[in-house]
Copies of this chain bind each other. A is one copy, B any other.
Amino acid sequence: MLESPTTDRRSARREGTKAEILDAAWALVREHGLAALSLRDLAARVGMRAPSLYQYFESKHAIYDAMFGQAAQESLDAIMGERPDGSTREAIGAVAHRMFDFATSDAVRAQLLFQRTIPGFEPSPATYAPAVELVARVRHLFSDHGIRTDTAFDLFRAVVGGLVNQQLANDPGGDQYGRLVDPSVDMFLAYVSPNKKGKK
C-alpha cells in the first residue's frame, strides 16, 4: 500500500468526523427516540447542513447501520471481552449479569440491537458479525461447563432476555428487575444440571 502522509491525515480526519456524527446521532436518538432521527437535526448538532452528511454516509440507513455496528461491538466487548472464570455458577452468573446490565443500561441501544422497529432498515452482515460472534462465544463457554443442548442454551437466553424486557418495559431507567438475575440463574442451573445443585 502506498499512501502519502497527506492521504493518511485526510482519512484520519474523515474518520474523526464520522465518529463525531455518530456520537451526535446517539445523543439525538436518546433524546427524541430511535425513529425520530432526522438528517437536518443531526447535521445541525455537528455544525453542518444536512447535505454535507452525504460526504460521510451514503444514506440515513447507512448511519443506522454504523450505529448498529458500534452497538454490536460494544455488546461483544461488554459481555465476552473478558472470559468469565470461576465455577459454573460464577461464570454463568457473570454472563447473565453482564447481559442484563448491558441491555438495560441503554434502552435505545437495546431497541436498535434487539428489535426491528425502523421501517426498511436491516443491519448489513458485516455490522451484524460481532453479534454472531458473541453468541458463538457464550455457547462455547456453556459447552465448557457441560451445558451443550440447544434447549438449555435457548432457555438461558430467553430467561435473561425476559428480565431485560420487563425491566425496560415496566421500570425503564430503574433497576427493579436486577434483583431477579441471580435467582434466575439459580433456577436455570437447578433445572439444567440438577446433579450439581449442591456445589458452591
Contacts and interface: CB of A to CB of B under 8 A. Distances in A.
A16 to B, nearest CB: 31
A14 B35 CA distance: 34
Contacts of A140: none
A48 to B, nearest CB: 24
A117 interface: yes
Interface residues of A, number: 32
A154 B160 CA distance: 13
Contact of A180 (B154, B166, B184): B154
Contacts of A116: 169
Contacts of A183: 151, 155, 191
Given A154-B180, A177-B154, A114 B169 contact: yes
A191 B180 contact: no
Contacts of A114: 169
A62 interface: no
Nearest to A107: B116
A159 interface: yes
Contacts of A177: 154, 158
Nearest to A194: B190
Nearest to A118: B35
A135 to B, nearest CB: 11
A19 interface: no
Contacts of A184: 155, 158
A162 to B, nearest CB: 2
A162 B158 contact: yes
